[in-house]
Amino acid sequence: MIDKVKERVKALLTSGEIRGFLGLSNKYGNTGPHLFCDPADLDGLVVGDWQDPGDARYTLNKQLIHLARNYPDDRFGVLVRGCDERGLKVLYTWNQLNPEKVVPVGIACPQALAEACECPKPYPDEPVAGEKTEGCPAESVARMDALNVAGRFDEWLKEFSKCIKCYGCRDVCPMCFCKECTLEDDTLVGSGGIPPEIPMFHLTRAVHMVGRCIDCGLCNEACPADIPLRTLYKKAADIIDEEFHYRPGQELYAKSPFNILMQPSETG
């Protein structure tokens, strides 16, 4: 898989089509994000399979936003999986990235990773490497839905009570690009002290993920308390899909329900 990715990136760098490629590299004995600017450096390029497939995925789209804000005239390549591509579509729609300045290099995820993520579409539209595999159903949501309302609420309160309020779910999120965050607005959610307000802190974030969350699962992986946030956001996304027929990242430039609700003609 990696040879095809390297070949594509080498061609992009050599032709001058991109100024740099944001990917992953094995360095200092670990895997982390790296900007490749020289085709000769591509030996270190990896796709983030450390011990298991995709267990060293990073928020490359977030780093891409940092580069784009500082170098808006330059074009960058970026390593994307299915989730990252959904992220790019939403970030283009919200004008956080310019599609003319981004060249995605896509890889399809193996079945094992797709199942672990319960990913609805574990591949980008045009992968340069990897085989497209089937999307997987969200069994974690079904398990929660099987409980009655009181049982479900108890379960979530139990999960939220583990929170150490590190804000890691927000900090790692590639879709959290706001300059001002509601989670730091004292009129809505108490800041500067622990424990967090339960369930207000988590439900506020869940509401803000509506129309945004592209189901990459990086919040789950960043949570030191192992709170299954992804399940919560998957459920919120299901409700929005049922009510508004919208799922973030499925379609480029599709309007989020928040935009629809704020149409002046409808609010009078």
Q: Which residues form the interface with another protein (CB under 8 A)?
A: 19-20, 27-28, 30-35, 50, 55-59, 62-63, 66-67, 70-71, 74, 164-168, 171-172, 221-224
For residues 161 and 157, give the distance between their C-alpha atoms in angstroms, rounded to a whole number: 6
Residue 10 vs 19, nearer CB to another protein: 19
Q: Tell me how far, at minimum, the Cβ of 180 lies from another protein, in Å.
A: 16
Residue 27, phi then psi, degrees to nearest 5:
-150, 155
8 A C-beta contact, residue 188 and residue 202: no
CB of 55 or CB of 145, closer to another protein: 55
Q: Which is nearer to another protein, 39 or 135 (CB)?
A: 39
Residues 6+ apart with CB under 8 A from 7: none
**Contact partners, residue 41, CB within 8 Å, separation at least 6:** none
The beta strands (E) that lie in 16-174 are given as 20-27, 30-36, 45-46, 76-80, 102-107, 127-129
The DSSP output letter for 95 is T
Nearest CA to 83 out of 207, 219, 203, 180 is that of: 219
Cβ-based nearer residue to another protein, 35 or 105: 35
Q: How far apart are CA 130 and CA 118, in angstroms?
A: 18
Q: How far is the CB of 15 from another protein (least distance, A)?
A: 19
Nearest to 53 by CA among 31, 86, 21: 31
* Least distance between another protein and beta carbon 68 (Å): 11
* Smallest gap from residue 218 Cβ to another protein (A): 9
Burial class (CB in 10 A: 0-12, 13-18, 19+), 83: buried
Shortest Å distance, C-beta 134 to another protein: 26
Determine the Cα–Cα distance for residues 80 and 57; give it in Å rounded to an integer: 10
In terms of CB distance, is 71 or 153 closer to another protein?
A: 71
For another protein, the closer of residues 221 and 241 by Cβ is 221
> At its nearest, how many Å lie between another protein and the CB of residue 151?
29
Residue 169 makes CB contacts below 8 A (sequence gap 6+) with 205, 219, 222, 223, 227, 229
Minimum CB distance to another protein smaller for 33 or for 190: 33
The CB-of-227 to another protein minimum distance in angstroms stands at: 12
